[in-house]
Structure 1
Amino acid sequence: MEEQSVVLVVDDVKTNVLIMRQCLKEMFQVWTADSGEECLRVAKQKPDIILLDVLMPGMDGYQVCRQLKADPETAEIPIIFVTAKDSDDDEQKGLEIGAVDYITKPIRPAIVRARVSTHIQLKQHSDKLKFMALHDQLTGLYNRHFLAERAAQSLSAMVRHQQELSIVMLDLDHFKKINDFNGHHIGDLVLQAVAKLLQDCFRKEDVVARMGGEEFVILMECGLDIAREKTEDVRQQLARLNPMGLEVTGSFGVVTANPQNAELSHLLVLADEAVYKAKADGRNCVVCYQDGAYLTVEHD
């Protein structure tokens, strides 16, 4: 059963809240708040849309809308103003500060349901397009465009706040043989299994991206020692994975950023050279770039 979208109704008059709930409950899950302050708290739980009264004691709807739009956690939630104020100036003001629509009282249930449905569908479509723009379509991992965007932010933060940052590159070994002998469909399933392993192994704050083909890159906010240890653990798990009953291993390159090499393109070159050395050393191993040298991590 498809999960219902969530509508947050914000109004300080209980009768209005009851009318809106009655109007929407058959189509949507309805949350309520009776003040601007409560709306800001509940909105952190990410409703799909907010129906916001304008005239409320304390914070009015316009103030609430401005704060919601200023907060990255809630900025993308569509807001529809619901109010008895029906002048063109009022409507213009609401739209200018970020609302997507404006419904005037008294409430007409059919209009409310239609407007809410339309804006939820638009939001879902927009979310899907954004996901597709930033994710690899086969594996669901981030793509190189998102990696470049996040890396620029992380490298800038590293320089400003002296944070640690490492990049791990993984290239699956002999992947062409898997495609040649088993078909590209099986190869795709292997890539999906590897992607899931990487998502499970790394933290949510790490960026796991597919660069294309059988190459993956992970951006980690940590130093070389932690990155090396984590990567070796992932190498071992990958060697035991056996997706589709096939033996799959990977060659890994690890490099840590510093203020002198705080460019993604340069770090990727170093990580790629580390992967190349891992291939030359027999594959299925981790090579770290440190102090101008490439060092292979010993393993049993």
Structure 2
Amino acid sequence: MSKRQTILLVDDETRHLKVLVKAFLNDYRVLFARSGDEALQLVQQEAPDLIILDVMMPGMDGYQLFGLLQQDQALRQVPVIFLTGRDGEADERRGLEMGAVDYWTKPVSIDIARIRARNHLELKRHRDLLAKLAITDSLCDIANRRGFEDYLAREWHRAARTGRPVSLLMIDIDYFKAFNDHYGHPAGDQCLRQVAALIDKTLSRPADLAARYGGEEFVCVLPETPEAGARVLAQKLRQAVADSGMVHGHSPLGNRLTISLGAATLQPDEAGDPAELVELADQALYDAKNGGRDRVVVAGMVLTTLAKAESG
């Protein structure tokens, strides 16, 4: 069963709010706000699927609120319907030129409103599906490289504003070419899917992102995670694969599948580039592979043997 879509109603008139809430409550999840400021707080917590926005409100009016929403990359994708008691062509043109998907004049016909809202929400569902497919790896069903780069860029800029660190893990399946050569590419694909599922399952926070970087390499973006936390999670991931029971009979490390991990942490600033974090993690992964594989190396630390990493 698909998740119920969310409609945000913004109107300072309680009577109109009650009518619209009643109209949509049976079919959708409905949020409401009585001012532009209240609406801004709500959308920062969760982006709705549709916003029905009254134009004429005290303080911040609908046009001003819409302008602020357009400045946010994620909220810019949310369709907005303007709602107003004025039916002038100039007002309607202004709203549509700003980017609103529709313009309703009060009093609204509830039956027509339901149909129009349903149509806009269906279009939004299709756009979301296409957007998800564009950033999802079709084999492993986690984010692809494009999805990873987009997410890292967003988290980098957010961390620059909040003053919080961002950590990155880069992961490589050890001796994967030998695995493919011995077991065949279908088995190799199944191996990639299993490792991706283990990584995704081990990430416990909703904000953490697992992605396929390319080939047999994966990455994990860990917002608001200091170096110590990244190191602990990297060790958990290595152990999860080691304990999975996946067989690799042609690995010099034994009759089991293993992974190597590089971890890096930075405190972003707006003048910096997320590529700096990727480069650090990539170098740490190179050190892990060069040091014997099946281990975790943290950028900026002396290459650590597996025994030391596990005891630390």
The answer, yes or no, to whether TM exceeds 0.5 is yes
C-alpha displacement of 1:116: 0.9
Paired AA for residue 109 in structure 2: R
Does residue 1:10 correspond to 2:10, yes or no? yes
Corresponding residue number in structure 2 for 1:68: 69
Q: Could you tell me which residue of structure 2 aligns to residue 140 of structure 1?
A: 141
User: Of residues 270, 280, 295 in structure 2, which corresponds to 1:285?
Assistant: 295
State how far apart, in whole Å, the 2-side matches of 1:115 and 1:26 are. Answer: 16
State the 1:215 CA deviation.
1.4
Q: How far apart in 2 are the matches of 1:235 and 1:29?
A: 40
How far residue 165 of structure 1 moved from its aligned partner, in angstroms, is: 5.9
- What TM-score do the two structures reach when normalised by structure 1? 0.75
Instruction: Give 1:109's aligned residue.
Output: 110
Verify the 8 A CA contact 1:169 1:215 in the aligned structure 2.
yes
Contact 2:210 2:220 in 1 (8 A): yes
| Distance across 1 between alignment mates of 2:27 and 2:154 | 41
Q: Secondary structure at the match of 1:85?
A: coil
CA distance in 2, matches of 1:223, 1:27: 42
Query: In structure 2, how many angstroms separate the alpha carbons of the residues matched to 1:212 and 1:103?
Result: 47
Counterpart CA distance in 2 for 1:161 and 1:83 is: 37
CA separation of 1:159 and 1:277: change in aligned 2, threshold 3 A = farther
SS at match of 2:307: coil
Aligned equivalent of 1:78: 79
CA shift for structure 1 position 49 = 0.9
How far does the alpha carbon of each residue in 1:100-151 deviate from its partner, in whole angstroms, 9 at most, with x for none?
2112233233432222122112222222222223332233333223434555
CA distance in 2, matches of 1:2, 1:219: 27
**Which runs of 5 or more residues in structure 2 are unaligned?**
249-254
Choose the corresponding residue for 1:236, options 231, 239, 248: 239
Matched residue, 1:195: 196
Q: Structure 1: which amino acid aligns with 2:283?
A: L
| Other-structure match for 1:210 | 212
Q: State the distance in 2 between where 1:225 and 1:26 align.
A: 47
CA RMSD, aligned part only? Answer: 4.0
Whether 2:33 is the aligned partner of 1:33: answer yes
Aligned twin of 2:261: 252
The one-character-per-residue Cα deviations of 1:24-69 (angstroms, maximum 9, x if unpaired) are 3443343333443443344444332121222233433223323333
1:239 CA displacement: 0.6
* Partner Cα separation in structure 1 for residue 210 and residue 84 of structure 2: 45
Q: Which whole-Å CA distance do the structure 1 matches of 2:154 and 2:110 have between them?
A: 46
102 and 169 in structure 1: CA distance in 2 versus 1, 3 angstrom threshold: same
Going from structure 1 to structure 2, the CA distance change for 1:13 and 1:142 (only over 3 Å counts) comes to same
2-side partners of 1:146 and 1:35: how far apart? Answer: 34
Could you tell me how far 1:153 is from its partner in structure 2?
Answer: 6.8
3-state DSSP class of the match of 1:55? coil
